[in-house]
Chain A
Amino acid sequence: MVTMATTALSSSLTAAFAPMSARRLLVFGGIALIAGGMLFGDIFAVFVLHQNGGRTGETLLAAAQAAAAQDPAGVRAAFTRIGSLLEDRGTKVDTHVHMTDAGYLALLLALVQPYVALRQQRKKRLAQLFITGGVLLPVGIFLIHYVGLAYSPFPVIGWASVLADSAGALLIIASLGEAWGFWKYLRGTRAESLEPNLAADDSWAKRALLSGGTVLVLLGFLYGAWYAAFDLYPQEKQETAILNSLAEQSAANNTALMNQSVNDYGGLAGAKAISIAAHSHAIEFGLLAMLLSFIQPYVYLNEVWKRRWVLVLLAGSIILPVFVLLELKLGLVAGGIADVGGLLVIIALIGMLVGVLRHSGRLDAGVTQ
């Protein structure tokens, strides 16, 4: 039978999640940033990534053909286009990574609030500063490709980079402020109104997320070590070897071998991207699962739905890196399944966010025991 996990909220739950507190701001802001960053990553993977890779390969071939035709101006024009394509791809990857990671850090800071010996008002300011930086940093990074150097007084840094760097500085200031508060706590200082620890919870959802997350992080570490030991250096050597071969075939005007080299280059770039994506996503999803385990007491949903979201999140977290790795063997079908895995994580995350919103709504309505 489906029953509500909590019908009325205990005073400890209420105190640990007070209205407009630093912790509430960091939890909401953190989950929203993570969901936004993941949604952006999924949209990028479906609509931009492969198309961008294809265009980069075509333009590299155009550069080689221009070299074969002894046309240096054509070569330079092609590489300007390649630079633009790589910047387009790179800034979108960075937008995804920085938005998601700022969300993770926000959730982390929410956890350590009881150990930050600063006044409530100052803690709230730091939280506001952090969330502002976390939103502006990815926005600035995203705009770098589109704004370029327009109206910039600097030779290589545009206004969007200035926005991104300023937002990064906000994140650093907020993190240093939190570290200062923690240092004061270690020295024995206590805040006037001490924020209580997160509510004690030993539910199935918490244990599943904590243990599943630790296993995912460990698997990601092991795969990363294997990649660094066996693939990283050979791939770096292979890249320069392919480019040297492409330059030689261009000079010899050998169209068939030029095509072959460009295909090899595309395959290598794909293999590298796949390995790095599998490594980083396994670890990031593991960390996310561990972080979400702490906020389970604040997910106001019945136990069945809490378990469903946990299972959906863990399933998506394993599907994405595994099928990303299988993309080399199974092609775009595996890529599509990996995208669905990412979508499952986003859906579970939004499901939990709805639970936290319901919890805070009840708190604000004053439903306490």
Chain B
Amino acid sequence: MSRSSKLLVFGGLALAAIGMCYGLSYALFTEHQTLDGMGGALSAAFVQAAQRNLPQAHAAIDRYGRTKYDYVRQVDLHSHWIGLAMLMIVLGVVFDKVNFEEATRRWLSLALLAGSVLFPFGVILQTASLDAWFPSALAVVGSATVTIALAAVAWGFARAL
């Protein structure tokens, strides 16, 4: 088993375990409260509308929007980390069949691992500050790195045919 394969398999297993731990702690300590918060904000908005208090209704809907923004990204972190981890393990098993030099394969495996960690991490950092450019840039760079590396791997498989 080459070093690039080992990196992908071990990195994938570790990332899958981290993604699961995050999902479990999120389900235990955050998810129910978040869903209650979203439902409560939406209900409060229409109760305020019933009382003809539109500024409060809009404030409650903004609260709902902000909570949902966080919720979507928290779930995305969990699913993308585990999904990308599975892809890395699969690729790790057949990485020796990617028809490039081992040095190139090592760079590709590093790019796959780095992108798989950074892309969801950038997504979750977006919840810390809505207007900051850095988290979005991290997510874009991470996802682009994974996509380009995967395209290169596909090309490497095609060269072996």
CB-CB nearest in chain A for B156: A214
**B24:A169 contact, CB within 8 angstroms:** yes
| Interface check A171, CB cutoff 8 A | yes
**A172:B157 contact, CB within 8 angstroms:** no
**B61:A105 contact, CB within 8 angstroms:** no
| Interface check A332, CB cutoff 8 A | no
Checking B27, B52, B94 against A251 with a beta-carbon cut-off of 8 angstroms, the contacting residue is B52
Interface SS, B side = helix
B-side contacts of A75, CB under 8 Å: 43, 46-47, 49-50
Q: Mark A146-162, 1 if CB is under 8 A from B, else 0.
A: 00000000001100010
Q: Mark A113-136, 1 if CB is under 8 A from B, else 0.
A: 001000000000000000000000
| Interface check A48, CB cutoff 8 A | no
CB-CB nearest in chain B for A225: B143
Report how far A215 CA is from B161 CA in the complex, Å: 15
| Interface check A360, CB cutoff 8 A | no
**B49:A211 contact, CB within 8 angstroms:** no
Report how far A290 CA is from B6 CA in the complex, Å: 18
Report how far A284 CA is from B86 CA in the complex, Å: 10
A-side contacts of B95, CB under 8 Å: none
User: Interface residues of A, CB < 8 Å — how many?
Assistant: 71
**A161:B27 contact, CB within 8 angstroms:** yes
Interface SS, A side = helix
Report how far A86 CA is from B57 CA in the complex, Å: 22
**B54:A247 contact, CB within 8 angstroms:** yes
Q: Mark B52-78, 1 if CB is under 8 A from A, else 0.
A: 101001100110110011001000000
**A176:B17 contact, CB within 8 angstroms:** yes
Report how far A90 CA is from B21 CA in the complex, Å: 20
**B86:A221 contact, CB within 8 angstroms:** no
A-side contacts of B50, CB under 8 Å: 66-72, 74-75, 250-251
Report how far A165 CA is from B30 CA in the complex, Å: 13
B-side contacts of A104, CB under 8 Å: 86
Checking A82, A97, A175, A250 against B49 with a beta-carbon cut-off of 8 angstroms, the contacting residue is A250
Given A66-B50, A171-B20, A182-B157 contact (CB < 8 Å): no
| Interface check B42, CB cutoff 8 A | yes
**A108:B90 contact, CB within 8 angstroms:** yes
| Interface check A294, CB cutoff 8 A | yes
**B46:A236 contact, CB within 8 angstroms:** no
| Interface check B107, CB cutoff 8 A | no
CB-CB nearest in chain B for A156: B32
Report how far A240 CA is from B28 CA in the complex, Å: 28
Mark out the residues of chain A between 285 and 316 whose CB falls within 8 Å of any chain B CB in the assembled complex.
Answer: 287, 290-291, 294
**A182:B46 contact, CB within 8 angstroms:** no
**B147:A244 contact, CB within 8 angstroms:** no
**Among B47, B52, B54, residue most surrounded by chain A Cβ atoms (within 10 Å):** B47
Given A247-B57, A294-B93, A215-B154 contact (CB < 8 Å): yes
**B151:A168 contact, CB within 8 angstroms:** no
A-side contacts of B139, CB under 8 Å: 228
Given A210-B94, A218-B150, A240-B62, A172-B86 contact (CB < 8 Å): no
Given A76-B43, A228-B143, A287-B86, A182-B9 contact (CB < 8 Å): yes
A-side contacts of B39, CB under 8 Å: 79, 82-83, 86
A-side contacts of B129, CB under 8 Å: none
B-side contacts of A165, CB under 8 Å: 24, 27-28
| Interface check A101, CB cutoff 8 A | yes
Report how far A105 CA is from B139 CA in the complex, Å: 25
**B43:A168 contact, CB within 8 angstroms:** no
| Interface check B158, CB cutoff 8 A | yes
How far apart are A272's CB and chain B's nearest CB, in angstroms? 10
How far apart are A132's CB and chain B's nearest CB, in angstroms? 15
Given A111-B93, A112-B93, A214-B154, A164-B27 contact (CB < 8 Å): yes
How far apart are A91's CB and chain B's nearest CB, in angstroms? 11
**B151:A218 contact, CB within 8 angstroms:** yes
CB-CB nearest in chain A for B3: A186
Q: Mark B29-51, 1 if CB is under 8 A from A, else 0.
A: 00011011001001101111111
A-side contacts of B111, CB under 8 Å: none
Between A and B, 5 residue pairs with Cβ closer than 8 Å are A63-B46, A161-B32, A168-B24, A221-B143, A225-B143
- Contacts A67-B49, A210-B157, A214-B153 known; 18 new A-B pairs at CB < 8 A: A69-B50, A70-B52, A72-B47, A76-B43, A105-B86, A165-B27, A168-B27, A179-B17, A210-B94, A222-B147, A236-B72, A244-B57, A244-B61, A248-B49, A250-B50, A251-B52, A283-B83, A291-B90
